[in-house]
Chain A
Amino acid sequence: MQTIFAMGWRNIWRHRRRSLVVISSIALGIFAMILSMGIMNGMNNQAIENTIRTALGHIAIHRKGFHEDMKIAHNFKSTDRIMRSIAADRRIAAAAPRVKLPGMVRSSETSQGVLIVGIDPEKEMKISNLYQYTSKENGSRFLASPDENAALISQQTADRLKLVVGDKLVLMLQDRNNEIVGVGMTVAGTFQTPVESFDKLVVFTGIGKLQEITGLGENISEISIAITDPAAITDIKRRLIGAIGDDSLEVLTWMDMAPYLVSAVKFFDTIMYITFVIIFLVVVFSVANTLVMAIMERFHEIGVMKSIGTRPSWIATMIVFEAVNLGLVGLVAGVAAGTLSVAALSIGGINLGLFMESLRAWGTGSVIFPVIKGMDIVVAALIVLATTVLAAVYPAVKAARIKPLEALHFV
């Protein structure tokens, strides 16, 4: 078999230029596949990470029903048992309480509906990137304490309400008695996250202040949790549910809270795979065409091989091996070019500032850091292998069926 393989390999290089064209087309396909996969992975990862690091956290503990309806009655009081359950899992990096209430923010110019989120600034810094997203210029700063009578608003909201740092705004919301209350606050700072919908919707204030305004006392809306091992998220959730042991509460992962994000990632992956199938269908015809040409050129030679006793199956194996070799050389070249490009681009990222608004809508940020996973390489290898074998089927059958006498007379 070694000799059959050697023949297959040497046959490829009999027409160096033609083989190089086919190999290049395969390599280019793989390169495009890995690079686009890398960029898409980077975008998906960043969209997920940004959503986790702004709005959701990896895991959140709520009263049942809160996620669907953020009414004040769905708040709950944290217990020692909950806090002990969280502290007991080493895979949990940090946890922070939040109060989330729908309301309205008003300036002297205008008003808009928002989600008012009360945070403990010190704890919040450990679970989200809000501190990093808060401007430190022109007097803008992060909240100083849970009880501070101040608010953080997005730059987008500030522009819309025509507010600057130091201005007054009014938060209006329902208290626990369903009375509308309004409280004046100072704009402590502005922030800008990579997630446009988040910026449009959310206003932060101190959790203690919000509990005081609404009469919630020590009640909170959620405990947001950051974990160190995202792969263990389902296991951590399961363990927390058991440890907390309170049927009135629910433990949700970001995937439970943002199913649209999971669907969107799957959708983009599907679109990408469809594109790859189209690319590699072109490759199939390119490889098949080359092999058919090679067989027609070697018609006489294959006839000789058969006349001296080579079985049709060996001829077919040789042709398939030629195709697989073309594919493997293209694969190695394509994977090398693709992974090196992804590695190089992942250092500084790809600045897509031109598309900043649409990227913010998708929540990725304007600089994309491509990421390639081992599984992507495996998928690429399998696609190439399957593609080239598929491409070789017809030429291999054709070669195996050559009649030796007919071929011997063919010059």
Chain B
Amino acid sequence: MNIIELQSITKTYDTNGLTVPAVRGVDLVVEKGEFSALAGPSGSGKTTLLNLIGGLDNPSGGTVSVGGENITGYSPRQLSDLRLRKIGFIFQAYNLIPVLSAIENVEYILLLQGMEKTERRRRSAAMLAEVGLEGLTDRRPHQLSGGQQQRVAVARAIVSEPDIVLADEPTANLDQKTGAALLDLMHELNRTKGITFLFSTHDGMVMERAERLISLRDGVVEHDRVKRRAKPRSAKRKR
């Protein structure tokens, strides 16, 4: 099943009267359950592409479909709802809400989805335990290390079991050991829960572990290579 479909996507920015093309006619299909990475040097268009898929930006041309929905031309409100229902985000700088504890940060997504309090608390606690943060649930972000904060961010991204998790340079602020552990965790979640992961990265470790590597240069896909496809351990998601 195609979870992401990009057709002839272009994106240009107007800067000081100059039109700068960031993405130039990209066609891309990502299937459900992939663990893929968009790679390339700075300015190659990988973050722009991730933003277009995540509904954070609108394409200048072409169509974007996410989870079977053509989101091109969606209003800000519709895009907001789409992100809430179908997409989990992991950012380079963790981007947790500083006034909320670890469990509240995770719970926040479920709250926005309107889940009942007891159930969302139970699921958030279980998710934090799954990412190895049992016992740290009541800590605020500033009381956690970078790696722990990124684990909370991962828990927040997947707690609602979205169709896709978009991760923008998730290991860039972490040391190699912590970054590797985090990648292990995400790969494990990909295999056990069947969640699609799409990274934007120029971290060699992420590129190495990705099962599909889409290389971008100057806003076009230069290479698209499927290295291996791991079979999910269990198609049934844990609740």
Contacts and interface: CB of A to CB of B under 8 A. Distances in A.
Interface stretch (B33-41, B79-87, B222-230): B79-87
Interface of B: 51, 54, 56-57, 76-77, 80-81, 83-85, 89, 91, 95, 97-100, 104, 107-109, 111-112, 117, 156
A7 B112 CA distance: 14
B122 to A, nearest CB: 16
Contacts of B77: 311-312
A11 interface: yes
Interface string A1-39: 011001100110010000000000000000000000000
A306 B99 contact: no
Contact of A310 (B80, B100, B117): B80
Contacts of A309: 80-81, 83-85, 109, 112
B104 A405 contact: no
B76 A312 contact: yes
A14 B112 contact: no
Going nearest first, the 8 A-B pairs with the smallest beta carbon separation are A309-B84, A10-B99, A304-B95, A405-B56, A309-B83, A3-B111, A405-B57, A309-B112
Interface string A194-233: 0000000000000000000000000000000000000000
A314 interface: yes
Contact of B99 (A7, A312, A405): A7
A3 B107 contact: yes
A358 B112 CA distance: 64
B159 to A, nearest CB: 11
A6 B105 CA distance: 12
Nearest to A298: B98
A11 B83 contact: no
A300 to B, nearest CB: 8
A269 B142 CA distance: 52
User: Which of A11, A306, A404 has the most C-beta atoms of chain B within 10 angstroms of its own C-beta?
Assistant: A404
Nearest to B162: A309
User: Which of B56, B57, B109 has the most C-beta atoms of chain A within 10 angstroms of its own C-beta?
Assistant: B56
A11 B140 CA distance: 13
A308 B83 contact: yes
B95 A306 contact: no
A49 interface: no
A343 interface: no
A124 interface: no
A310 B77 CA distance: 9
Given A312-B80, A408-B91, A307 B100 contact: no
Nearest to B87: A309
A14 B81 contact: no
A241 interface: no
B94 to A, nearest CB: 9
A191 B171 CA distance: 92
A301 interface: yes
